[in-house]
Chain A
Amino acid sequence: MTDNKVYYSVEAEENLICSKCGIPLEKTEAVFEYLDNSFPVELPACPKCGFVYVPEDLALGKVLSVEKVLEDK
């Protein structure tokens, strides 16, 4: 797995603001990790506090399906 590979990318919509830092979220390099596997992705995150936002459709869609595959590996 190379660091350049990105498995999934979510654009940071302009209307998403970090409530703590008061600044808009930005598309950020992030990692999903599960059962000793990791997947580089791009997700909206606060550039200051680093809070990564996982939208509901991603959590219940792609993330859930990858979880299930790994659980039975």
Chain B
Amino acid sequence: MDHFKERSTRDYFQKKLYSLEGLMERENRCIYEEPAFCHAACPLGLDAKKLIAFIEKGSFSEARAMLEHITPFPRILVYGCEAPCKKVCRMNEVGEGIDIPALERAAINHGSPKTGKGMLKFKKKQKAAVFGSDLFSLSLAAELARKSYPVSFYVSQADAVSLIKDCAPFLSEDDLAKEAKKLEAMDIKIIYSARLTKELFESEKKNFDIIAAARSFLSICFPGDLPDSRTLLSPVSQLLSSQNGDPNVLEAIFDARRAGVSADRIAQGLDPGSSRGEEGARESRLYTDMSEAVPSKRIPEPREGYAREAAIEEAARCIQCKCEECIKHCVFLQETGKYPRILTREIYNNVDIIMGDHLMNKTINSCSLCGQCTVTCPNGYDMAEICRDARENMVSTTKMALAYHEFALLDMLFSNDEAFLSKPQSGYEECKYVFFPGCQAGAIAPDAVFKAYSDLAGRLEGGVGLINGCCGAIAKWAGRTAMYEECEELLISELKKLGNPQIIAACPTCKKTLEEMIGAEVKGIWDILNENGLPAGALEYDRPLIMHDSCSARGDRDMQAAIRKLTDSLGCTLKEVPYNGDMTECCGYGGLVSYVNKDLASKMAQSCTKDEDVPYISYCMACRDRFAREGRESMHVLELVYAAPAGNPPDISEKRKNRLNLKRKLLEEVWNEEVIEVSPEYKIVIPEDVAEILDQRMILEEDVYDVIEAYHAGGSAVYDEKSGLLTSSLRKGNVTFWLNFTEDEAGEAGVYTIKGAYSHRMKVRTRYDV
């Protein structure tokens, strides 16, 4: 199977990422959009968190508009509400909860009413009548008027002020007058001083489609006719009325809201119980981390209410409850600016698109798959699973461009081909153990690998074989299942040849991947060193170090503890940081981020090493390398154990050379095999600044040699007479490599000095070539 065949934008394959249920099940774990506790506790659905935020900004009019939106008589609400929101405020746990009703009053007092008439609304055909006055019927009459029903409101009072006063006796004279004025301005036909009798009701009801009444009217005229608890419709009289005989302010206003919904259903000829959605107070699933909330006391509200400044001060105490546990710790999520639920939906849609731009491809490939979100999220959201599934889906539907992961995949094949080594210990056909150092160890710290193998082979009984290659994690991260399976086949067959020995891994990712592959326990070299003691010559390190746990060790407390035991025996003094152990962050190598999104990978490494200016120690070679690349002093524990400091981080070409040199050294010195190297007859000089460009542009020295070899063998080049530079190119696989160079004759052999290099993936030809 050709794993490196480019995709075609003309292939239209599609496979659903998840069933709709599977998608919903995942999305529902994210509680970012859950209402704050104060919001959820309000049966009217007032978003108190938002109202408080407005006040904190000094936007009192916006806050007032929120109140006017939820009830026609906001003064009645803010002075009479029993405020369940205040009781559930999380600040009560660390001090005093926010005085939300006092802030609502401040919003009414300091905010300006909305001006303008709003949109032109046409009156509805169905007419409504409301009999009798209590807070419920008053609110419902206004509610129905807002809904554009022509409303007739029969009351016993003689004027608006006494009507409001009877419904809300707790209001001050001033507020009474204001609410009365508001009532008069509403489009309601109020029949004052009406004689509220059953006769009146019977004679008038035929003129109306919707009829409602104060609860006292219902009880007197139709004793025993109780309103339905959900629709508030009384079965005999067909009157809408409040549920309780003596509702409190919030209940009365909430019942008016519910009765308004029933009125709509009746007007539409529907069952009043249908399509009502969620009504009333509810439990919020929101999680709020209170560990950093500063305890504070309520700003006392004077009789005349808060002044603007006092209201702003009280509002500023609000911690604006929200769950951002995953985002707080994850550089990837911070970079996307999205929370997991919305990110999941966008990834799902991205995978679903057949034609057009797949805008989330880079995002899908920028997750390090480290699993930190699963630990930080109160509900265990697993963004890694979703990104990995999306990658596999994209590969299987040929939507994954090779450009994202090709370099890493070729590097994996290099590890398992040219640089691969699988041998039993000299003198053994089958071994009790096999050492599996991992591809990055050989690339970054080859001396430590050489010494580690020599040490294990010398000290362990029963023979220690060696398999130096890639465990397949790279293919897994890239979503390339078929390549992983080929790697699995190779490793299983090599293990079989060695007599299926106990694997000793030196890399947490290899350990995890191989355990899944063979379905048996893989030991870490740290376990062996703890059991058998340190080798002679191990370096003692007396400066304090920060331990960075590998993201592959997340959830593996035994591994984390074994490493600390090992560093203890080395005499290291460890400083533990908060984001460690199961909470650890990825260095940017995981999930192949460093190949796809270099800037993000840099930020990840910086985030891991942000805490203190102390050297970092890790037990994953990729972490060691990435921290050093960001200019941090970092080391792998094996560099200390085997007194084999790896020095400056190698570039991409040195990583390959290190692996080849390690293989040669092992073959020559451990297995006494002769290795023949063929050198070209010419010399290639790569100055340091050009080597840096090669590293940045992911061009290997091997590619440079191949371009020069092709030119040397008679290939074409462009000679620029102005600069004196030659430019030649070579197509290798899916990439065309270009070199700028000079050619000097030094003795018989040519010397090529490389001056620049670049590449592109597009193929180019003249239009006459086929």
Contacts and interface: CB of A to CB of B under 8 A. Distances in A.
B715 interface: yes
B719 A73 contact: no
B718 A16 contact: yes
Contacts of A43: 764
B231 interface: no
Interface string A4-48: 000000000001111111000100111111111100100111100
Interface centre among A63, A66, A72 (most CB of B within 10 A): A72
Contact of B6 (A16, A31, A35, A59): A35
B711 to A, nearest CB: 9
Contacts of B716: 18-21, 46, 49, 51
Contacts of A69: 357
A50 B769 CA distance: 8
Contact of B738 (A31, A59, A70): A59
A20 B738 contact: no
B206 interface: no
A59 B357 CA distance: 22
A15 B357 contact: no
A73 B762 contact: no
Contact of A36 (B9, B715, B760): B9
Nearest to B404: A71
Contact of A70 (B9, B720, B721, B726): B9
B500 interface: no
Given A18-B716, A53-B718, A35 B727 contact: no
A3 B767 CA distance: 10
B121 interface: no
Given A29-B766, A63-B760, A16 B403 contact: no
Contacts of B356: 73
A16 B724 CA distance: 10
B720 A35 contact: no
Contacts of A3: 767
Given A33-B765, A37-B9, A50-B768, A60 B715 contact: no
B361 A31 contact: no
Nearest to A71: B401
A51 B730 CA distance: 11
Nearest to A60: B758
Contacts of B767: 3, 28-31, 40
Contacts of A31: 764-767
Contact of A20 (B717, B740, B768): B717
A17 B557 CA distance: 65
Nearest to B7: A35
A33 to B, nearest CB: 4
B303 interface: no
Given A17-B719, A20-B716, A72-B358, A56 B762 contact: no
Contacts of A36: 8-10
A46 to B, nearest CB: 7
Given A19-B726, A45-B766, A52-B766, A25 B761 contact: no
A45 B729 CA distance: 13
Given A19-B718, A52-B766, A73 B358 contact: yes
Given A54-B738, A72-B361, A20 B758 contact: no
Contacts of A63: 760, 762
A68 to B, nearest CB: 8
A32 B716 CA distance: 19
A6 B10 CA distance: 22
B117 interface: no
B763 interface: yes
Contact of B762 (A29, A32, A49): A32
Interface in B715-765: 715-722, 726-727, 729, 736, 738, 740, 756, 758-765
B9 A30 contact: no
A67 B722 CA distance: 31
B359 interface: yes
Contacts of B519: none
Interface string B1-22: 0000011111000000000000
Given A71-B361, A73-B356, A28 B766 contact: yes
A57 to B, nearest CB: 9
B717 A34 contact: no
B761 A16 contact: no
Nearest to B714: A20
Contact of A15 (B404, B722, B761): B722
A32 B766 CA distance: 9
Given A36-B10, A54-B736, A72-B357, A30 B765 contact: yes
B764 A51 contact: no
A59 B758 contact: yes
A65 to B, nearest CB: 11
Contacts of A54: 729, 736, 738, 760, 764
Interface centre among B740, B756, B764, B769 (most CB of A within 10 A): B764
Contacts of B765: 30-31, 33, 50, 52
Contacts of A15: 720-722
Contacts of B762: 32-34, 63, 66-67
A61 B714 CA distance: 29
A71 B403 contact: yes
Given A53-B718, A56-B758, A35 B8 contact: yes
Given A35-B6, A54-B729, A59-B758, A25 B718 contact: yes
Nearest to A42: B767
B761 A34 contact: yes
A9 to B, nearest CB: 13
Contacts of B717: 18-20, 51
The 4 closest A-B pairs by CB, nearest first: A71-B401, A51-B716, A36-B8, A15-B721
15 contacts: A15-B720, A19-B719, A20-B717, A32-B764, A34-B763, A35-B8, A36-B8, A44-B718, A50-B769, A54-B764, A66-B762, A70-B9, A70-B401, A71-B361, A72-B361
Given A56-B740, A73-B358, 16 more contacts: A15-B721, A16-B721, A19-B719, A19-B726, A29-B768, A31-B766, A35-B6, A35-B9, A43-B764, A51-B718, A54-B736, A54-B764, A66-B762, A71-B403, A72-B361, A73-B356
